Structure 1
Amino acid sequence: MDQLSVEDVVLRYLDHLTVEKGSAANTVSSYRRDLARYAEFLDGLGRTSLTAVTEADVREFLVALRKGNPAEGAAPLADSSVARTLVAARGFHKFAAAEGVVVDDVAHAVRPPKPARRLPKALAVDEVLAILEAAGAPDHPRALRDRAMLELLYSCGARISEVTALDVDDIDTESRAVVLRGKGGKERIVPVGRPAIAAIDAYLVRGRPALVKKSTPALFLNIRGGRLSRQSAWQVLVDAAERAGVRKDVSPHTLRHSFATHLLDGGADVRVVQELLGHSSVTTTQVYTLVTVNTMREVYATAHPRAQ
């Protein structure tokens, strides 16, 4: 097996992904493209056999991906694309070592670049309010549903999957609380603001009965009486933002980001926000503190006479 060419081992690895691991067709296709790039790079180094490849070669490949090759019209890859391609190469070398094609996994110590930490994009409070108003007009069952759903998303910082999975019994309008089921089925009880409760009450009284076609526990229903899907809920928000004149890219996660940012701007403790969001680690929540620090920095730079 030591005399197998790089291309031969690539084919074996792709078969392994397809047959033994049952990887999706799109995943295998992506690995095929990435490993073809890798095999071409190794060929350029004169490495026709995998036994000749060293850790230095893998690191050089990483550098080449990030630099590109302008002479051949190859642009530098974004860190996310570099990471994906290197993951394919690392998996390939791990497989080759496990199968006895090579003695050592030379790619083991070569780590993909960490993607740049993107700050969450939060809407201004007036933009959120405009979207909520636009979702509830005109006053008919679907509009009542849309307003209640978006009010709830923003009021408790829920994920869209958590809200579309809600049943009627999961929300207590008297105590103003909702039971959310997050990742891994972990439950948390989150308070809900009065405007959201009012919107949900209006929907339950005047909206949901008109949408019900058969008995169902689902809180938010589509026009056929079934549970509203994540995709449909996403479209509700996009349409409301367009009607409100909010030109930013808006997604259900935008309301979640806005919820967290507005709480921290208002003085909320980061650990309380962590619990409300259902984050297992406060480190995940702390990214929002960077947003508020940036906001404070901008205010300081424009308002303080000795800032410049």
Structure 2
Amino acid sequence: MRFEEALDGFDAYLRANRGLSENTRKAYRSDVNECLSALEKHGCEDLNEVSIEDLRVWLSDSSKNHARSSMARKTVAVRGFFAWAHDHGVTAVDPAAMLRTPKIPDVLPAVLNESQAERLMERVDEDGAEALSQEPDAKRRAVELRDAAILELLYATGMRVAELVGLDVADVAFGNRTVKVMGKGSKQRVMPFGAPADRALRAWLEHGRPALVGKGSAEALFLGLRGGRIGQRMVREVVHDRAREAGVPDIAPHALRHSAATHMLDGGADLREVQEILGHSSLKTTQRYTHVSIEQLKARYGQAFPRA
């Protein structure tokens, strides 16, 4: 691509200065690459030729195939690239300075209600107990215990899938029931977990993990069938499968995060405490869950109050 050198320079800048997660940095590079490739196809030979009208045309075309949330990220990435290009003398002006980010509808996150979450966790507990007492095949037992520990930890902490798959055994402190995670922007935080997650993790580490451990996975907390660190796709499959088996609505791991946050607030947790546990940089993000709690309260009110 004609603009590969500029793209590499921007990528190096992100790596060295912005503190972004690897996934976010890769997404930004992909977004900018998409934009620059489109500009090149339309005859652009020099970044100094790019106008805000060109960028608006690209956004309009790209929005036909992407959600608004994706377009918002793409806009941020492209705006960041041209700001970097201008600051580093690659371009004489910044054509993206006035590029507006698409508004994202304030959609309430999907959550399990408390009874559905309880049903899911009870099923997970039963599967784990059965694996310990009856399952003769070591690998099958290991998978059952691993899946139980994954579900328990996701719901107990509300951590992200990327955070879960990045955990090492040393990150879990059973003495005070906490786990240390590396969040977005390489920010570490410590999250508490309860007795059910404690039991599930201990069972996995003592009776399951040794059957799966392989080369290069000595440190990873959760392992795949081939012995390496488990991937995000496998964790998503685990959550979908367990939800189906428990007879609750089909959910993704992020819905467990939403559910955990909502149930913490329903139980009386302070908004700032939930923000700290989930690793939100902005309190506004955490406040979305208060809306979910209010919607659930209104539903219960309508069912229980005679003059609702």
| TM-score of the superposed pair, with normalisation by structure 1 | 0.69
Deviations 1:71-93 (A, max 9, x none): xxx98996457757877997899
> Percent of counterpart pairs with the same letter?
40
Counterparts of 2:205 and 2:71, CA distance in 1:
49
Asked if structure 1 preserves the Cα contact closer than 8 Å seen for 2:31 and 2:77, the reply is: no
Equivalent of residue 233 in structure 1, options 226, 232, 235 = 235
Structure 1 position 122 matched with structure 2 position 127: no
Matched positions, count: 268
Structure 1 position 262 matched with structure 2 position 263: yes
Amino acid at match of 2:243: A
Deviations 1:90-131 (A, max 9, x none): 7899879x7778xx7676435233211222211112322333
Q: Give the secondary structure class of the aligned counterpart of 1:190.
A: strand
Superposed counterparts of 1:292-307, under 5 Å: 292-301=293-302
Q: In 2 relative to 1, CA 126–36 (structure 1 residues): closer, same or farther, beyond 3 Å?
A: farther
Q: Give the secondary structure class of the aligned counterpart of 1:261.
A: helix
Asked if structure 2 preserves the Cα contact closer than 8 Å seen for 1:151 and 1:196, the reply is: yes
Q: Give the secondary structure class of the aligned counterpart of 1:112.
A: coil
Structure 1 position 170 matched with structure 2 position 171: yes
Counterparts of 1:82 and 1:224, CA distance in 2:
37
Superposed counterparts of 1:280-295, under 5 Å: 280-295=281-296
1:141 to partner: Cα distance: 1.4
Structure 1 position 111 matched with structure 2 position 116: no
Give 1:4's aligned residue. Answer: none
Give 1:220's aligned residue. Answer: 222
Give 1:15's aligned residue. Answer: 2
Give 2:134's aligned residue. Answer: none
Q: In 2 relative to 1, CA 34–123 (structure 1 residues): closer, same or farther, beyond 3 Å?
A: farther
Asked if structure 2 preserves the Cα contact closer than 8 Å seen for 1:164 and 1:220, the reply is: yes
Counterparts of 2:228 and 2:111, CA distance in 1:
31
Asked if structure 2 preserves the Cα contact closer than 8 Å seen for 1:123 and 1:258, the reply is: yes
Counterparts of 1:201 and 1:284, CA distance in 2:
33
Counterparts of 1:198 and 1:123, CA distance in 2:
23
1:172 to partner: Cα distance: 2.2
RMSD after superposition: 4.0
Amino acid at match of 1:114: K
Q: Give the secondary structure class of the aligned counterpart of 2:225.
A: coil
Deviations 1:202-233 (A, max 9, x none): 11221112222457122212222222122211
Q: In 2 relative to 1, CA 35–118 (structure 1 residues): closer, same or farther, beyond 3 Å?
A: farther
Asked if structure 2 preserves the Cα contact closer than 8 Å seen for 1:35 and 1:85, the reply is: no
Unaligned runs of 5+ in 2: 12-28, 132-140
Structure 1 position 28 matched with structure 2 position 33: yes
Bigger radius of gyration: 1
Counterparts of 2:109 and 2:226, CA distance in 1:
35
Unaligned runs of 5+ in 1: 1-13, 40-49, 67-73
Asked if structure 2 preserves the Cα contact closer than 8 Å seen for 1:171 and 1:179, the reply is: yes
